[in-house]
């Protein structure tokens, strides 16, 4: 048999030895760079969409949500990059507007993409500087040298050495513990602690049932426990509101101003998923957020009403057996303005010029709050009403309570003391204000206000003790199997249909 012919060399290939792994690194770096460029490209567009809603809401004073809530909504995929871009663009926005004013970019067809122009200009001038084949990116890259020259002129005119000196001295958020609430409709607190202890230090809150405390800066937004609705990233003061109402399993409850729904689904958990909750929300967009929160929680005893709570007929037979009402109405949000990053908004500098606590906006909010609280107290069978705000202004808190006290007394209500062990009470502006509860950033919490009205005549006139609350929660946990609430086929069908 003749020997096999030698293997032929491939055409157009030199006889240089096969490249090593070191020679392949540039290709991998190029692929990595392309991936980074694509990520930056899409993050700018997500940031521009969020920025548009933030700026429009700030201009009309009808915000669809805070910066954080908009960024961490389900529609945003690259949350970390989007959040950074939105915050930094807002921080540099006055400078960006001044620099872009020297060009004709925003006076042309690009005006329709104004927010994307802001985000891209920030990212190219001050951020990563990564640009890919996008029309806005190409536009800013063509103008880059001209924009930098204008920026240098602005610094020279204002006699500052660098761009950072042009930034206003705005407040920064002080690090606070990360609070989260275990959704006991789906899982037990002990199982969540066991899971989180693998990566974080976890402590149980001493006052709020099923609340866990993690170190500041802990990011859990993409954790499966959060995305699956087994835990909710919710502040401690916010969780105190539903606990103060202390609804019993089987009750009919109204959440009067429900969106985004964290307190609503907390009520469902406290009620062990039994009874019914009517969640009212006037704003259509916020009602969609409420729907998403309810679905994520797994609660099947919540009915969403897209309408005005003030128009709910208290004499309607369907509301005749309402036992409790949680009223957390629209407010100035002054108690959570730092957490919401309101200091980054254009309106922040305008507000600081006036006494925000007595501004016309706060007075209008206060008038609405009084009307809503009076309406809540007028339901014939209601036994417990909680009024809460995330405001620090007296006009929205103590003044509202004081104004409705005569009506409340005539209807058989009196002020009770939620969380009597809590040290910070209401401002001493009327007799009985010691029953009210306030939280403050000095406590490492948000600025919240809570008032609890209890009808004197009736089986629930006595304030439930802390031990009783813990006992109820213990029974609820024991009633679950493997931490997950079992759904009957009928309930499951109703959920799917809803």
Per-residue pLDDT of the chain (498 residues; tens, 9 = 90+): 445 555 444 444 434 344 444 444 544 444 555 777 778 888 889 999 989 888 887 777 666 667 777 887 777 888 888 888 888 888 888 888 888 888 878 877 888 889 999 999 988 888 866 666 688 888 888 888 889 888 888 888 888 878 877 776 555 556 788 999 999 999 999 999 999 998 889 999 999 999 999 998 888 888 999 999 999 999 999 999 999 999 999 999 999 999 999 999 999 999 999 999 999 999 988 899 999 999 999 999 999 999 999 999 999 998 989 999 999 999 988 887 666 566 677 776 544 444 566 788 899 999 999 999 999 999 999 999 999 999 999 999 999 999 999 999 999 999 999 999 999 999 999 999 999 999 987 787 889 999 999 998 644 434 444 444 434 344 444 443 333 333 333 343 333 333
261 is known to lie in a ligand binding site: yes
Q: Is 260 annotated as a binding residue?
A: yes
Enumerate the H helices of 77-173 as residue ranges.
79-100, 114-125, 135-157
Domain assignment present for 187? no
> Would you state the structure tokens that stand for residue 382, as one six-digit string?
């209601």
Same domain for 243 and 121? no
120 lies in some domain:
yes
409 and 277 in a common domain: yes
One domain, residues 138 and 272? no
Residue 79 lies in a domain: yes
Q: Are 204 and 182 in contact (CB under 8 A)?
A: no
Which of 244, 179, 241 has the alpha carbon at shortest distance from 205?
A: 179
Q: Provide the token pair at 136.
A: 């806005």
141, 166, 191 - which closes a domain: 166
According to the annotation, is 331 in a ligand binding site?
no
Greatest distance between any 2 Cα atoms in the chain: 115
**One domain, residues 356 and 463:** yes
Distance CA 333, CA 336 (A): 6
Could you tell me if residue 226 is inside a domain? no
β pairing state of 384-389 and 322-327: parallel
Q: State yes or no: 268 annotated in a binding site.
A: no
Active-site pick, 239, 246, 280, 390? 390
Domain count, the chain: 2
Specify whether 311 is located in the same domain as 443.
Answer: yes
Instruction: Answer yes or no: is 329 within a domain.
Output: yes
Say yes or no: 102 and 249 in one domain: no
Indicate the helix (H) or strand (E) that contains 27.
helix 21-60
* Domain annotation covers residue 244: yes
Ligand-binding site membership of 215 (annotated): no
Domain identity same for 258 and 338: yes
3-state secondary structure of 268: helix
Secondary structure letter of residue 178 according to DSSP? E
Asked if 246 is an active-site residue, the reply is: no
Regarding whether 157 and 263 lie in a shared domain, the answer is: no
Residue 257 is assigned to a ligand binding site: yes
259 known member of a binding site = yes
Helix, strand or coil, per DSSP, at residue 211: strand
H or E element, residue 195: helix 189-196
Report the DSSP beta bridge partners of residue 280.
305
Query: Is residue 1 situated within a structural domain?
Result: no
Using the 3D structure, point to which of 166, 182, 204 is the last residue of a domain: 166
pTM tops 0.95, yes or no: no
Same domain, 266 and 358: yes
CA 280/CA 477 separation, integer angstroms: 28
Q: What is the CATH number of the domain that holds 298?
A: 3.40.50.150
Same domain flag for 252 and 394: yes
- Domain boundaries, position 74: 26-166
Which DSSP letter does residue 393 get? -
* 68 marked as binding residue: no
Same domain, 96 and 245: no
Domain membership of residue 287 (yes or no) is yes
């Amino acid at each position: 048999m003749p020997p096999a012919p030698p293997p032929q060399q491939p055409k157009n290939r030199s006889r240089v030895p096969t490249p090593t792994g070191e020679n392949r690194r540039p290709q991998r770096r190029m692929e990595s760079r392309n991936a980074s460029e694509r990520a930056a490209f899409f993050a700018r567009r997500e940031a521009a969409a969020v920025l548009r809603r933030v700026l429009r809401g700030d201009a009309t004073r009808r915000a669809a949500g805070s910066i954080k809530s908009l960024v961490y909504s389900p529609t945003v995929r690259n949350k970390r990059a989007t959040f950074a871009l939105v915050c930094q663009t807002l921080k540099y926005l006055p400078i960006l507007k001044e620099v872009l004013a020297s060009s004709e970019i925003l006076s042309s067809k690009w005006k329709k993409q104004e927010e994307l122009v802001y985000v891209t200009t920030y990212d190219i001038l001050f951020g990563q500087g990564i640009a890919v084949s996008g029309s806005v990116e190409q536009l800013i890259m063509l103008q880059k040298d001209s924009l930098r020259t204008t920026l240098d002129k602005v610094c020279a005119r204002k006699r500052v050495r660098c761009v950072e000196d042009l930034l206003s001295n705005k407040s920064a958020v002080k690090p606070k513990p990360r609070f989260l609430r275990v959704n006991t409709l789906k899982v037990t607190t002990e199982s969540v602690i066991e899971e989180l202890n693998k990566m974080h230090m976890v402590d149980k809150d001493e006052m709020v049932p099923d609340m866990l405390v993690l170190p500041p800066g802990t990011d859990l937004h993409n954790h499966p426990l959060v995305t699956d609705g087994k835990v909710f990233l919710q502040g401690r003061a916010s969780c105190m509101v539903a606990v103060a109402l202390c609804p019993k399993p089987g009750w009919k409850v109204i959440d009067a101003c429900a969106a985004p729904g964290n307190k609503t689904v907390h009520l469902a958990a406290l009620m062990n998923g039994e009874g019914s909750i009517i969640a009212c929300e006037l704003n259509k967009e916020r009602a969609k957020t409420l729907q998403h929160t309810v679905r994520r929680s797994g609660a099947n005893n919540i009915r969403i009403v897209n309408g005005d709570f003030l128009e709910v007929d208290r004499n309607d037979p369907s509301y005749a057996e309402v036992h409790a009402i949680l009223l957390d109405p629209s407010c100035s949000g002054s108690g959570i303005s730092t957490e919401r990053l309101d200091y980054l908004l254009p309106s922040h500098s305008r507000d600081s010029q006036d006494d925000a606590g007595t501004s016309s906006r706060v007075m209008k909010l206060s008038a609405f709050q009084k009307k809503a609280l009076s309406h809540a107290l007028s339901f014939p069978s209601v036994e417990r009403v909680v009024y809460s705000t995330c405001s620090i202004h007296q006009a929205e808190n103590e003044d509202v309570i004081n104004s409705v006290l005569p009506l409340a007394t005539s209807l058989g209500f009196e002020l009770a003391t939620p969380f009597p062990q809590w040290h910070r009470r209401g401002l001493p502006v009327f007799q009985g204000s010691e029953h009210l509860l306030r939280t403050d950033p000095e406590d490492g919490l948000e600025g919240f206000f809570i008032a609890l009205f209890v009808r004197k005549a009736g089986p629930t006139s006595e304030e439930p003790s802390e031990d009783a609350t813990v006992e109820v929660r213990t029974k609820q946990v024991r009633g679950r199997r493997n931490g997950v609430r079992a759904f009957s086929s009928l309930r499951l069908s109703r959920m799917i249909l809803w």
